[in-house]
Structure 1
Amino acid sequence: MSRSRPHVLHVAHQVLPHLGGLETVVGAETRGLRDRGWDVTVVSSGAGTRVEDGIRTVRVRAWNGLEERYGVPFPLFSPRLLWVLAREVRRADLVHVHDVLYLSSWVAALWCLVLRTPYVVHRHVGFVHHSSALVRLVQGVVLATFGRLVLGGARTVLPIDEHVAAGLPDPSKVVVLGNGVDTARFHPRPPVARERPVALFVGRFVPKKGFDLVAAAAGDEYEIAFAGGERPAGLEDPRLRFLGAVPADEMPEVYAAADVMVVASVGECPLTVLEAMASGLPVLLREDPALHSPWTAGPGVRFVDMAAGDLPEALRKLAADPDERRRLGAEGAAFARAAYSWDVHVDRLEDVYRAVTPGSLSR
């Protein structure tokens, strides 16, 4: 379907204002494409169809009880998803499916295959070694069945780094597309004197994010602030401060109020790593294969064996050395500013789109 304004459909199980790295990526990509003259539609969970931030967004009602009760972000969509996606896939020149673990991804891929609409799949995370054996089992079954079918029909698969790429079944389809960061919003601020340095954790309070490891690292020499939810029941340590669920547009100020970032995720390298680096924070990273990514190969980061209990000592050393914190933060910010931006990311994304549908996306 050729037109003066090429039409791309993004399908994601959740988008902003729901907080998360995938949601931030979808927002940055769709806004960047909008600014370059693309006609962009998004289908996600929620209610109502409206123009949000200049982008037509179609939200389908879904039950999110699995996330609320167990920390598993798997919306169970209304049956309306079937005909909404049939209509939107038919209208699109190209469909961009965000990951493979979700009902929205399965239905979008099905309609793309039926209607012969080309699609790409964005892989934001590899296999997550969740603490629950049941969650790991279900994840493995989904990846081996629905996930493999979704990947099999895609023209191109876009993993965020080489670690995620290594788990994909067909290397010939793979184009690594790293995340970006908005360096206009996330940038270093003048240092602020505090009674104690503040270490920051950003993310859901679930095993995948390493929340328990970070909470257990409380120390008298520093404070740990958590952005992502309210204080869990029974966790009364006064050295831990909880900021609640912080809206995405307020996150630059959260980074500005911290002195060091702690990332304890497993199976993923979250976008918060780049945001913290761009904000001038030194970053302590869990020693996990997924966190060894192109952006963590640069300066400003240190790997810590958090599973072995080494995080408190690493925090104590940085708390006692403000000059080292400033040095690491400045090096990381310079690296993020020079090597990563959403403009570069969207440049590469447009190249992928045109390679997938040569000649059909007229501008």
Structure 2
Amino acid sequence: MKILHIIPSISADMGGPSQVALNLVKALRDIGEDAEILTTNYGMGEVKTGDRQEYIFDETLGLSVPVWFLPYDPPNLKEFIFSRAATGWMWQNLANYDILDHHYLFSYLPTCAAAIAQFKKIPYTVRTMGQLTSWALAQGKTKKQLYTTLFERRNLQNAAAVHCTANGEAADVQGFGITTPTITLPLGVNIPDEIPNAKQRLRQEYNIGTDTPIILFLSRLHYKKRPDLLLRSLADLKQSNQPFYAIFAGTGEPEYREELVQLTTDLELTNDVIFPGLITGDDKECLLQGADIFALPSYSENFGIAVAEALVVGLPVVITRGIQISPDIEAAGGGKIIEDTQESLTEALLTLLREPEKRLEIGRKGKAFARETYSWSAIAQQLATEYKKICYANKP
């Protein structure tokens, strides 16, 4: 099959969805499928545009996939990313593919691709990326209602399938009034090489004492992820005389980052918290393998790639029920699933900080669960089977 994944941007600043597209296309190619990516150069620096190129997305492991980068038209909205060049390219080239896989809602590239696909009778699937949760739909509600009326509902209804990563996401699709068949498959995570001295190396890097537990927040600095709630819980830990050091690794809008830095100062946490920015590659693996607890008190996540990355290296996670894979993690005993409150978060963190043996046990369970469940190879095989069913059903 010739498969095209369409995503507005694969910039690291766009968070987990970029990694999903890159790793899934790599996994599909590894099992013999001819998969590519169409995207824009938004957030990509000096990347070459116009021609298909082999894009290296993980220099440490030497991982690459074929990508078509088309120039976007500034000024632009991060969520929308309009591109006249991509529009023309899609009219000329989409019919060369057997099936399309669209990432994101409420964004120009997948919206335009869906319209062209319907006109040219090309089957396509849609990934809602958690954008149909009640919380997500409440953000920019008026704009999303208008966009839904004009484009999105029609595009979802005319898709061959909607790809969901958890049962909760499939329920959100149905709750939105969409009757299109859903495919529920989790996303995958790469199993990294073990870094034997990760804990020592991480403590040396940030000058952390050997007996001080490290709490890791590894995600975009965005109010949806609730880093502010975590900071307030850290202040509770400090008041209870519980030692810790917290690393908030990720990028975000400069204004919001400054708000978090100011909150850190107001809560008298400047000696206990650091914001190192975006961490990638080997340094990111060292963070995951060297930390003691992973915390993500997000309002809403359809999957949470960073959560799976933490689990796969045996890092116990503390997450909210808004993360839609939380029921599976809870059943596996791989983490603490909390209510969306400061009190609940503080209690979970205190329990894990004060009981290191419990931390290790939870980490072991989470690691076994993640390595069995979140295999890119197995997921790619299952997805390829679904693609083939769709292509067969759409043959004249």
Q: TM-score per shorter chain, which class?
A: 0.7 to 0.9
Q: Find the aligned partners of 1:111 and 1:283 in 2 and give their Cα distance.
A: 42
Q: Partner letter of residue 15 of structure 1?
A: I
Secondary structure of 1:13's counterpart equals coil
- C-alpha displacement at 1:135, in angstroms? 1.7
Q: Find the aligned partners of 1:186 and 1:336 in 2 and give their Cα distance.
A: 16
Correspondence 1:62 to 2:72: yes
Question: Which piece of structure 1 moves more, 145-154 or 344-353?
Answer: 145-154
Alignment of 1:1-363 (within 5 A): 6-46=1-41, 47=47, 48=49, 49=51, 50-53=53-56, 54-62=64-72, 73-128=78-133, 135-168=140-173, 169-171=177-179, 173-185=181-193, 194-218=210-234, 219-220=237-238, 221-229=243-251, 232=258, 233-234=261-262, 235-236=264-265, 237-238=269-270, 239-247=272-280, 250-268=283-301, 269-288=303-322, 290-358=324-392
- Mark the runs of 5 or more structure 2 residues left unpaired by the alignment: 42-46, 57-63, 201-208
| 1:55-76 deviations in Å (ceiling 9; x for gaps) | 3212233368777xxxxx4142
Q: Partner letter of residue 176 of structure 1?
A: T
- C-alpha displacement at 1:172, in angstroms? 5.3
Q: Partner letter of residue 139 of structure 1?
A: K
- C-alpha displacement at 1:355, in angstroms? 0.4
| 1:207-246 deviations in Å (ceiling 9; x for gaps) | 2111211122223321221111285252433221112112
Q: Find the aligned partners of 1:188 and 1:203 in 2 and give their Cα distance.
A: 24
| 1:251-287 deviations in Å (ceiling 9; x for gaps) | 3222012100111122213111111111111111124
Maintained 8 Å contact 2:307/2:317: yes
Question: Which piece of structure 1 moves more, 289-298 or 258-267?
Answer: 289-298
Q: Find the aligned partners of 1:187 and 1:172 in 2 and give their Cα distance.
A: 44
- Cα distance change of structure 1 residues 289 and 184 upon mapping to structure 2, 3 Å threshold: closer
Maintained 8 Å contact 1:203/1:227: yes
Question: Which piece of structure 1 moves more, 95-104 or 74-83?
Answer: 74-83
- Cα distance change of structure 1 residues 20 and 185 upon mapping to structure 2, 3 Å threshold: farther
Secondary structure of 1:309's counterpart equals helix
Q: Which has the higher helix share?
A: 2
Q: Partner letter of residue 55 of structure 2?
A: E
Q: Find the aligned partners of 1:144 and 1:294 in 2 and give their Cα distance.
A: 34
Q: Find the aligned partners of 1:20 and 1:271 in 2 and give their Cα distance.
A: 9
- C-alpha displacement at 1:127, in angstroms? 2.8
Q: Find the aligned partners of 2:188 and 2:36 in 1 and give their Cα distance.
A: 21
Q: Partner letter of residue 266 of structure 1?
A: Y
- Cα distance change of structure 1 residues 249 and 109 upon mapping to structure 2, 3 Å threshold: farther
**Counterpart of 1:3?**
none
- Cα distance change of structure 1 residues 246 and 118 upon mapping to structure 2, 3 Å threshold: same
- Cα distance change of structure 1 residues 260 and 143 upon mapping to structure 2, 3 Å threshold: farther
Maintained 8 Å contact 1:186/1:278: no
Q: Find the aligned partners of 2:369 and 2:389 in 1 and give their Cα distance.
A: 30
- Mark the runs of 5 or more structure 1 residues left unpaired by the alignment: 1-5, 68-72
Question: Which piece of structure 1 moves more, 234-243 or 126-135?
Answer: 126-135
Maintained 8 Å contact 1:126/1:164: no
Q: Find the aligned partners of 1:129 and 1:145 in 2 and give their Cα distance.
A: 20
Q: Find the aligned partners of 1:63 and 1:290 in 2 and give their Cα distance.
A: 34
Q: Find the aligned partners of 2:32 and 2:85 in 1 and give their Cα distance.
A: 30
Identity of aligned residues (%): 22
Q: Find the aligned partners of 1:109 and 1:223 in 2 and give their Cα distance.
A: 47
What is the Cα-based RMSD across aligned positions, in Å? 2.8
Maintained 8 Å contact 2:232/2:342: no
Q: Find the aligned partners of 1:9 and 1:29 in 2 and give their Cα distance.
A: 11
- Cα distance change of structure 1 residues 279 and 301 upon mapping to structure 2, 3 Å threshold: same
Maintained 8 Å contact 1:66/1:75: yes
- C-alpha displacement at 1:205, in angstroms? 1.5
- Cα distance change of structure 1 residues 293 and 101 upon mapping to structure 2, 3 Å threshold: farther
Q: Find the aligned partners of 2:109 and 2:328 in 1 and give their Cα distance.
A: 29
**Counterpart of 1:70?**
none
Secondary structure of 2:217's counterpart equals strand
Q: Find the aligned partners of 1:7 and 1:131 in 2 and give their Cα distance.
A: 33
- Cα distance change of structure 1 residues 18 and 170 upon mapping to structure 2, 3 Å threshold: same
- C-alpha displacement at 1:359, in angstroms? 8.4
- Cα distance change of structure 1 residues 134 and 20 upon mapping to structure 2, 3 Å threshold: closer
